[in-house]
Amino acid sequence: MTINVLFAAGSERFDLYRPHLEQGLADAGIAANLTTDAAPDQVDYIIYAPDSTLRDFTPYTRCKAVLNLWAGVEAIVGNDTLTQPLARMVDHGLTQGMIEWVTGHTLRHHLGMDIHIHGQDGHWRSEIPAPPLAAERSVTILGLGALGAACAKALVGLGFNVSGWSNSPKTIEGVTCYHGAHQLSNALKGAEIVILLLPATPQTENTLNAETLSHLARGAVLINPGRGPLIDDAALLAALDSGQVGHATLDVFRVEPLPADDPYWAHPNVTVVPHKASETRPHTAAQVIVENIRRGQSGLPFLHLVDRTAGY
C-alpha cells in the first residue's frame, strides 16, 4: 500500500528535503507519495513547520501523526484543531549544531576573545590577565531537555563548573542539577555564564527578569539560543546598562527579524545573531521523520511526542 505524506513546511524547503525523505522512505521499504498538495482525507502523515500556511487540521481525518521539522512547537501546540499526535524534532544533527554553537560562544566569553578580535589598533595588550581555567568558571544552563543536557555534557567535558535547572528533576553526570521554581535562584546564584535552552511556555516567559538577573555574578554573560520570550527585555537592557550583565549574546527574540530600531542593535554589550544557533539539517532531520513514519506503519509508539499540557 502506498501512503500519502503531505509536506506542509514550505515549498522552498520541499526541494531540500525531498531527495533525503524519498531515499529514506525507500530504504525503509515504505511506498510513499511525498507531496505538497493532497486531498486532506487521503493524507497519512503531515511533515510540518510552524510557519506553514496549514492551520486547520480538522479535515485530516486519516492522518496518523504531525511530524514537526523544528524543535520548538509553541506556535502549534495550542491549536485546538490539532487532535493528531504531534512529534517535535529531536535530531542528532540539530543537537550537534547546538553543542558547537553554545560551546563556541561560551569559550568566546570565557577566554575574553573579543578584546583581541576588536583590538587590532597597534596596542600590545600584554597587561590583560589570563582567564581562569574552565573549572573556575561557573556556567548555568536553564533547560535540561535534549539540547540543554547535550550542551551541559559538552561543557563538563571541557572542565567547566556546570549547573543546570529544569522544571522537573534531572540527573546528569558532572552537573549540579536544580529543579522547580523554588530552586531557580540557587541555580543562578553566582553564575558567570548563563545559557538559556528552555522551551517557550506561559510558565517560562520572563524567566530572566530584574529579580533573577540580580542573582548572577556581577558582569555575567548571558547566551540565549532558546526562545526570545524567556527574557524580560527591559530588565536585561537595564542590567546591561548597570553592569550587572556584562554581555548578552542573543540568537532569538520576541519579534523576528529583530526590528532595525530595536535597542539591542545599538547596545555595545549585545551580540545579535539572526536565529542561527542551530538549524535543522535536511539530511539528518529526514532520518528522524522517516523513523517515525516507519514506527507509525509498524504500530510502534512514535518518538518525541509533545506533551500538550506541558507545551513541549
Q: Which CATH superfamily is domain 92-272 in?
A: NAD(P)-binding Rossmann-like Domain (3.40.50.720)
The domain limits of the chain are: 3-91+280-298, 92-272
| pLDDT above 80 (res 119) | no
Tell me, yes or no, if 295 is annotated catalytic: no
Homologous superfamily (CATH) of 3-91+280-298 is NAD(P)-binding Rossmann-like Domain (3.40.50.720)
Single out the catalytic residue among 88, 105, 227, 247.
227
- How far, in Å, CA of 294 to CA of 196, rounded? 34
Could you give the strand order of the β-sheet that contains 176-179, starting from the edge strand earlier in sequence? 176-179, 161-166, 138-142, 193-196, 220-224, 245-250, 270-272
Does this chain's domain 3-91+280-298 share its CATH topology with 92-272? yes
Q: Please confirm, yes or no, whether 62 is among the known catalytic residues.
A: no
Q: Which residue of the set 62, 92, 254, 275 is catalytic?
A: 275
Q: pTM for the full model?
A: 0.90
Residue 123's pLDDT band (cuts 50, 70, 90):
confident
pLDDT, one tens digit per residue, over 208-235 is 999 999 999 999 999 999 999 999 999 9
How is residue 174 written as a grid cell? 558532572
